[in-house]
Amino acid sequence: MQKLPKLLVMVHEKGINISDRRKGKILKIIAANALVSGRTYVTEEDLLILKNILAGTPDEYNTISTILTETLQTPEKYLHELIEIDNNLMEIQKRLNELNTNSMSSTPILTDLLRSLRATHERVQKMAQDISNEAVNKKANETLQLINSLLEQIAKMLGIIT
């Protein structure tokens, strides 16, 4: 609930006005959402309902959705980030295949990739630890497998025994 005031300020800064009366109702709706989810406490995920409460137009809905996605640590945010990482990993895979087929392996490039992939591996592991969501954990494990595969491929190209 500590993020609610910050979110309301951010929404206001985007030109979406919220009356004091509506703000009071928001608290009750967020608490009710937690109860319906079987909890006696509110989580950041409960704040996602704000996009349905605060928006008066489709544009406001999109604006509020963006604010919530960028601010809250929700499963949707983690999944979106993991999908972006996967897209980048696929791009790396293509580049590695080109290096393989042209046999023009460039040690500095591969060393930088190796370092970056190790850092990404740690970041994905932290994501999986930070949230206890089955879909996020499944996607994180798939991403980690892809990273491990790329690390192994780069190590072979560099002649490093793993």
Per residue in 126-155, pLDDT tens?
Answer: 888 877 789 999 999 999 999 999 999 988
| pTM of structure | 0.62
DSSP code at position 30: H
What is the token pair recorded at 40?
């006696």
Residue 101 has a pLDDT of 54
> Which of 63, 65, 102, 88 has the alpha carbon at shortest distance from 146?
88
Cα distances (angstroms) measured from residue 125 to each of 3, 14, 56, 83, 143? 25, 34, 39, 15, 10
Side chain identity, residue 33: N
Cα–Cα distance, 75 to 44 (Å, whole number): 10
